[in-house]
Amino acid sequence: MSQRGLILINTGNGKGKTTAALGVAFRAIGQGLTVSVIQFFKGKWKTGEMEAARQLGLELTPMGKGFTWESKNLEEDKELMRRAWSVASEKILSGKYDLVILDELNYVLGYGYLSVDEVIRCLQSRPSHVHVVLTGRNAPDEIISIADCVTEMRDIKHPYRRGIAAQKGIDF
């Protein structure tokens, strides 16, 4: 079977971007691939995926400390995101992983905490077998143009708009 590393993007305003990426991780683990998931924002709360990853032996690294709109220290956020990117880019370039998931990276790019060019340079110089998945709303056009598979989640209905809070096991 020929292996060719792909760049996949899950974007759009509808729910399902992170969970679809975790679905790929689940599938890849089952095929014996080595997988690393880097979550750029998560870290403050314990999520279901953190516990499931521990049970499955899936490497999942929460690099954030919650959501940036809750933060009072933008410089600290920026530093945190830069550190997360340095960990992530090292993993991508190392060739040790068959699949690297960059969860919410699009948001980090949207905030201007990292340069799109820097991310593209890393993606383009990665070893040829490495698959990379990026998630988050508003994927930059420059990354969409170098990606192999781009899926836009469309928001038709979300319980949040009826005042229903995030549900354990469904949202986190």
Residue 36 or 106: the one with the smaller Cβ distance to ligand ATP is 106
d(CA 157, CA 161): 8
Q: Which two tokens stand for residue 171?
A: 């949202």
d(CA 109, CA 55): 31
155 touching ligand ATP, by CB under 6 A? yes
73 touching ligand ATP, by CB under 6 A? no
Contact with ligand ATP (CB under 6 A) among 117, 166, 168, 169: 166
| Of 29, 168, 118, nearest in space to 37 by CA | 29
Contact with ligand ATP (CB under 6 A) among 5, 9, 17, 77: 17
| Alpha-helical runs (H) found in the chain | 17-30, 48-56, 74-94, 105-110, 116-124, 141-146
Tell me how long the chain is. 172
d(CA 113, CA 161): 29
Count of residues that bind ligand ATP according to CB under 6 A: 16
Using CB under 5 A, which of the segments 9-17, 23-31, 125-133, 163-171 binds Mg ion? 9-17
18 touching Mg ion, by CB under 5 A? yes
Binding string, 91-130, against ligand ATP, x = CB under 6 A?
Answer: -------------x--------------------------
Residues that are catalytic: 13, 15, 17-19, 27, 67, 69, 104
